[in-house]
Structure 1
Amino acid sequence: MMQYETMKNSLLPAAILINNFVKGIGPYRYEQYLIEVINATPYFLQRSQGESYVHPLEEDHGEWDCISSRYAMDFKLVASESRLRALSLFSSQIYGENGWISFCAPKIGRGDRRYKPITATRLFAALRALSLEELKQIRQSPTAKGRAGRDVCFLLETLGTDKNLFLFFPYNIYFDEDGSFEDGLSIALSAISADFRNSLLYRTECCPDRDTYFSFVYAKHFIISVWQDHSLRFLDAVPVEKSPLFMKLLYYAESAFDREVLK
């Protein structure tokens, strides 16, 4: 039976999260597949009155990541800089060209003289025990708590962005036990809401008039929620197949792992 204690999570692979990680398939950014997800979500199409969202041609002057003439948002990854850096450096490199897929050693391996282990922060775990007041203190003195403090401070800086934000928690949530989609979704939303509650309260104080959305992957769906009344409220579940780019990158990632990435 599904329960909080048996919920698991896994960080999505580098092919999906790190911009242009797969070589030979042309440039890409994670924002592109999130726009595809947004355009497949009735809630956001209602906000734009049916107009599709696009990515701006230029971002030289702080343009929003996801725009229509009636509504706009910025995308942000909710993962620590240290964890994403480790993912980029220590994941097998992938090349795709003319139907062939090749895998090479990571950018930096254990035999490389430049190799140095990275102490990475699990951001959701680091936030779990921090009160709102403690978060404010970290924002003022980010180096006081070392690597974790800097990673938390970077998130708080992001949450202080005076724009509507679509936060993507780049983890796949899953359970080994059988159970209904609805039960697993309820457990996942409650757990994530508890972990991020104080950091999202910090955002409410900083940007009370801006919208905040929070998304993650569960049961091969993008789960989209909105921060409202001090909790994450479910908005929609969009099948991952609705994003052609995500499915393409998933194909490369699963080829590299020789298994299903989304359990």
Structure 2
Amino acid sequence: MLDVKDIMQKDLHVALLRDNYIHGMKYSYEEYLIDFLNSSKIKFDKGNKEFKRISSQAHGECDATNDIYEIDFKIFADTNHIGGKKNYSLGIVRMGGATFYTQPERVTGHIEYYDMLKLIRGKKVDFYRNIMEEEDDMYVPLIKFMKKIEMDKNILLFLPFQYYFEHSETTEEVGRLIAKCIAEEFRELVAYRKEITLKDTYIGFVSKDKFILLKENDGCIEYYDMIKTKNSRLYCDLVELSTPY
């Protein structure tokens, strides 16, 4: 029997989080998230039309639309996390059909960042109502992110980690178990967002070869859908290119 204490957390490679990280490739992480949405229930629930990326966002437009429903993608991460991963990860270059790897910009030291999931753990709605008064520096990344939480847009919070059980495939049963744990972490934060806006809130994360979606529904965060990551060619290509060994 699986124990939630055995859930593993593993960083997604920076190539999956930072647009155009791989030299010689022009892409955005938003593109594979759109692939996942187009393979999920959300497509059918929101008019059964394909989502596409909104190319121009100069005036605060969302990231994706199917001409009926718009949604914005937000990576739930300390900005130092992704920036630091860039500095300490192998460079990747695509040229003439070949792939080359270069030394990281930095080879000593370590990334200093706060895990946002740990920052919100155990917090209540009142904490978020008064977060601007928080003086502890560890909450600075969360304070900066609150502007995104308070946006009057439908949003998908994308977690920059994999969550999985080491010796178990991510079946629907396993996915629901992990999703329940993630939902508990976000319960109070999403309840606060509900006070600010009635727009939809989704949470998405990778679990081995699956992408799992949660959705806020009547004050509860619930398992919504599970999509095979192979449904996005871009995602699979990025995983392959960022795994040289």
Question: 2:129: which partner in 1?
Answer: 136
2:13 maps to 1:13? yes
1:238 aligned onto 2:227: yes
The secondary structure found in structure 1 opposite 2:73 is: strand
Cross-structure match for 1:219: 208
Q: How many residues align?
A: 245
Q: Which residue of 2 aligns with 1:120?
A: 113
Distance 1:137 1:40 in 2: 39
1:169 is matched with 159
The residue aligned with 2:242 is 253
Q: Which moved more, 1:60-69 or 1:230-239?
A: 230-239
Q: 1:53 to 1:106 in 2, by over 3 A?
A: same
Fraction of identical pairs, as percent? 23
Deviates more, 1:233-242 or 1:171-180: 171-180
Of residues 64, 81, 84 in structure 2, which corresponds to 1:83?
Answer: 81
Quick check: 1:156–1:199 contact (8 Å CA) kept in 2?
A: no
Match of 1:106 among 104, 107, 130: 104
Runs of 4 or more consecutive aligned structure 1 residues displaced over 3 Å after TM superposition: 177-180
Are residues 117 and 171 of structure 1, via their aligned partners in 2, closer, same or farther at CA, if it must alter by over 3 Å?
A: closer
Do 1:2 and 1:183's aligned partners in 2 also have CA atoms closer than 8 Å?
A: no
Query: What displacement does 1:117 show?
Result: 4.7
Q: Residues 38 and 44 of structure 1 are in contact (CA less than 8 Å); yes or no, is this contact kept in structure 2?
A: yes
SS at match of 1:23: coil
Task: State the shift of 1:71 in Å.
Answer: 0.8
* Root mean square deviation, CA, Å: 1.8
Deviation at 1:215, TM superposition (A): 0.8
**TM-score with structure 1 length normalisation?**
0.87
Look up the SS of the partner of 2:204 in the other structure.
strand
Does 1:58 find its partner at 2:53? no
For 2:29 and 2:167, the matched residues in 1 are separated by 30
SS at match of 1:58: coil
Shift of 1:189: 1.2
Unpaired runs of 5+ residues, structure 2, are: none
- Provide, for residues 215-260 of structure 1, a one-character-per-residue CA deviation record: whole Å limited to 9, x for no partner: 11113111111112333212211100111111111111122xx2xx
Q: 1:29-44, aligned counterparts within 5 Å? A: 29-44=28-43
Structure 1: any 5+ residue segments left out of the alignment?
111-115, 259-263
- Whether 1:191 aligns to 2:181 is yes
Quote the Cα distance in structure 2 between the aligned partners of 1:117 and 1:175: 26
Tell which deviates more after alignment, 180-189 or 5-14.
180-189
